[in-house]
Structure 1
């Protein structure tokens, strides 16, 4: 018999690619049929195909999914012009810090008032990520006022979340005081360097504005702009790996620098996001769905804990967002709070870290994973429903 030209692992990867291709093809139509956000549909499809054994565990699949996540953070960063972030009106900056402080204070009170609940939930409950928030720009457009404010505030909140996660990770790994200090030093150094580079580039491009055109010509058959962006994306990831820092933060900041200094290329974001949302990012969502064990849905306590956590995390953000109600109105305040209730990847990362060091039980870990997935599905759907509510009422 003629031996197979593909090794067993190669066959698994090939099968996974075929299943992914089918999911990519079907997800837009199924999302429209079920009236769900496409990212939520991709997560559900990932869970279903994994449950029936159509997709298998593979390091290559995981690697591709991680690249998809980092690319999602890169695209999310391109929604944030750092000039706007550093020049935020004092009133908005003050309200942002009030909002973030409220999140952690209420979380602190909540955790201390519930017996036997691990203190790690003080960090878990308010954790924030801009990853899925960037998907909303596809739905509402770049000119949506409340969403632009939401992205700016979420950026500040995510940096705080990642700093706390970095410190927590160093502490839970039983690191020495030196290793803990080293992690904090590297993170501080990276953020300081980003600020310094921002200032230097601002001066450089002010004196030599044509340098932007050299790096990213108006018209270029060789796609120099895409190549430049990908080079920055890869180099930042490499730097974060060497420094043992959160790669997602680096990818996000890389996207922000591109958006800040090369805004003359109006079609750049569209070109980059078309590839991302058409291929890499859906693979990340499918992978997240595939890591979810559907069988835990039969465990009543896990489902109940997940629903409670979902409600608490949503309510906490909506209540804390009350500081913005005078600025953006009641409806937009609710949407603002909900838009921050989808910390999918950082919630999963924090839950995994906590479970690995036995800070939470297996049931609580499963509940947190289920919460992260429910947030992606429920919150996305709620935002879409609330934003379209008046239109539906007026049509009827």
Structure 2
């Protein structure tokens, strides 16, 4: 009980002080929370606790939920075909480059799988920092959705393979996943038709003026319903949380304040606890093991490099700088990378050394990508100011 109390007090202080420290250091908050979590775990202040583990898992799922809300299905569906085609080429090229790099460097198959993973959970946190007005961020979300679906499908297959092996059972599991996704698509079309015939139903389910916060209640209810469905179907929970967020965005976009309400709860409470937990899960003693740091740096460099090369397809959509920022923003598959590393370690596909290497790489990727985006954003602002000065003169 005493340990639980000390953890609660420590997490409370970290939630409150980490934004101040991030502002002082002039870096985004998530890397600071990860580093603080790792440091305090090393000092023995933070340690494994069932309540901490549970709320961190909820923070991860909520982050995926918010990421789903960032997806505008109508905008994606009605995007010019050339953009959708180039986004698809980005994802396919990324997978091919990851496979090529992994085979050339003779990497473990789990490491190869981790290289092209894409998660837009942290892209959602970038939109909180930079807003959604910049074209590169909208492009990153569009490309990220395609990559996220492919990555979660890969994670689901990997999870199934680690339990049932490679055979007919795995094939049935893949077919099961495809049928589920098809059912979700049919459900989307049916609801779209229903709300088209009865548009007033939307406002009854989620009224614009409501003192009981019915909009938040419905969103959270859908969040837990989808998680329950994933548990019942034995599918990846992150997929359910992501679909729930995308459904809210697709059908209740008229409720403008809802996203702000849910984001405040997520980024002010649940998501930071997840980042702190990620940091605490990494043992700093592993830095002394030979090959962990160099291996993590190698994986980080390859992860970012193959995305920059794949962004060759995106360079003509807006500007080359936008394509570069899109590529780097998609270089933070933190949540999915940790999930893949955990599955690989639990199944015996990777050893302890490789596990720590992947975890450290996931932290390096977040820190390098966040700082690089901040630097590129400052550079872009400098170019704009310089252009304005030239125009005025």
Aligned residue for 2:315, secondary structure, equals helix
Cα distance between partner residues in 2 of 1:175 and 1:298: 34
Aligned residue for 1:336, secondary structure, equals helix
Following TM superposition, by how much is the alpha carbon of 1:107 offset from its aligned partner in structure 2, in angstroms?
A: 1.5
Following TM superposition, by how much is the alpha carbon of 1:56 offset from its aligned partner in structure 2, in angstroms?
A: 1.9
Residue by residue over 1:281-305, the C-alpha shift from the partner in whole angstroms, topping out at 9 and shown as x without a partner, is 1110111111011122233411011
1:49/1:290 contact within 8 Å kept: yes
Structure 2 unaligned blocks of 5 or more: 387-393
Residue by residue over 1:50-72, the C-alpha shift from the partner in whole angstroms, topping out at 9 and shown as x without a partner, is 11111121111111001011111
What's the counterpart of residue 30 of structure 1? 21
What's the counterpart of residue 303 of structure 1? 293
Cα distance between partner residues in 1 of 2:187 and 2:176: 16
- Among 288, 294, 297, the residue aligned to 2:284: 294
Aligned residue for 2:291, secondary structure, equals helix
2:31/2:367 contact within 8 Å kept: yes
What's the counterpart of residue 262 of structure 2? 272
Cα distance between partner residues in 2 of 1:380 and 1:231: 32
- Among 160, 183, 189, the residue aligned to 2:150: 160
Residue by residue over 1:30-56, the C-alpha shift from the partner in whole angstroms, topping out at 9 and shown as x without a partner, is 001111111111111111111111112
Aligned residue for 1:327, secondary structure, equals coil
What's the counterpart of residue 317 of structure 2? 327
**TM-score of the aligned structures, taking structure 1 as reference length:** 0.94
Structure 1 unaligned blocks of 5 or more: 1-9
Cα distance between partner residues in 2 of 1:198 and 1:354: 34
2:135/2:322 contact within 8 Å kept: no
2:110/2:341 contact within 8 Å kept: no
What's the counterpart of residue 30 of structure 2? 39
Question: Structure 1 residues 102, 176: closer, same or farther in 2, change over 3 A?
Answer: closer
Provide the aligned C-alpha RMSD in A: 1.6
Aligned residue for 1:101, secondary structure, equals helix
Cα distance between partner residues in 2 of 1:45 and 1:150: 28
Cα distance between partner residues in 1 of 2:48 and 2:100: 40
- Among 7, 14, 18, the residue aligned to 2:5: 14
Cα distance between partner residues in 2 of 1:53 and 1:375: 25
Cα distance between partner residues in 2 of 1:68 and 1:124: 22
Following TM superposition, by how much is the alpha carbon of 1:178 offset from its aligned partner in structure 2, in angstroms?
A: 4.4
What's the counterpart of residue 243 of structure 2? 253
Aligned residue for 1:328, secondary structure, equals coil
Cα distance between partner residues in 2 of 1:28 and 1:164: 34
What's the counterpart of residue 391 of structure 2? none
- Among 91, 97, 107, the residue aligned to 2:88: 97
1:212/1:262 contact within 8 Å kept: yes
Cα distance between partner residues in 2 of 1:392 and 1:35: 17
Following TM superposition, by how much is the alpha carbon of 1:86 offset from its aligned partner in structure 2, in angstroms?
A: 2.9
1:360 lines up with 2:360 in the alignment: no
Cα distance between partner residues in 2 of 1:392 and 1:264: 36
